[in-house]
């Protein structure tokens, strides 16, 4: 609300998120060091800097955000997705591992009740699925909160020979 009341601060927030989207750590630093940027600022779609960096697989930006005290576990206000769920959805295994090591909950669910395994399976991210199941221990048999109460195996659009065979 404070950012909306101050147009300059709102512009700086928009510029900051655009710098994250472009992957410009230098621009992020300049805007942050200028003192006008709230690291929790969200774009019109409800995504914050950690979500955007995770979506784009930018581990360098996530490290900088964490070092500057950004909330790494922030959830989308409506969808409930965290940076880790977004990384798994986009197949950024290195980012997902780093976020897990940074303390994010690998068993968290989004607003639809999906676990990390659900989102990775739906996109066919085999390496991410193997890591989640074998190394992290996320149970693929858990159902989401949809009307159909689907497991990750039931949600996937891929053929049984690839994704379903991994679950």
Q: Which two tokens stand for residue 74?
A: 């922030």
Neighbours of 46 (CB within 10 A): 13
Confirm whether pTM is higher than 0.85: yes
| Per-block mean pLDDT, blocks of 10 residues, the chain (167 long) | 67 95 96 90 96 98 97 96 97 97 95 93 89 92 87 70 59
């Amino acid at each position: 609300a404070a950012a909306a009341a101050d147009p300059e601060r709102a512009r700086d927030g928009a510029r900051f998120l655009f710098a994250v989207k472009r992957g410009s750590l230098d621009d992020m630093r300049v805007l942050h060091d200028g003192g006008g940027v709230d690291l929790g600022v969200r774009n019109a779609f409800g995504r914050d800097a950690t979500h955007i960096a995770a979506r784009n697989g930018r581990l360098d930006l996530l490290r900088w955000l964490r070092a500057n005290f950004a909330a790494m576990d922030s959830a989308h206000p409506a969808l409930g997705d965290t940076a880790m769920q977004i990384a798994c959805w986009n197949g950024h295994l290195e980012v997902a591992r780093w976020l897990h090591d940074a303390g994010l909950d690998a068993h968290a669910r989004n607003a639809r009740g999906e676990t990390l395994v659900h989102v990775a399976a739906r996109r066919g991210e085999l390496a991410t699925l193997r890591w989640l199941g074998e190394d992290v221990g996320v149970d693929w048999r858990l159902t989401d909160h949809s009307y159909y109460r689907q497991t990750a195996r039931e949600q996937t659009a891929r053929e049984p020979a690839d994704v379903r065979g991994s679950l």
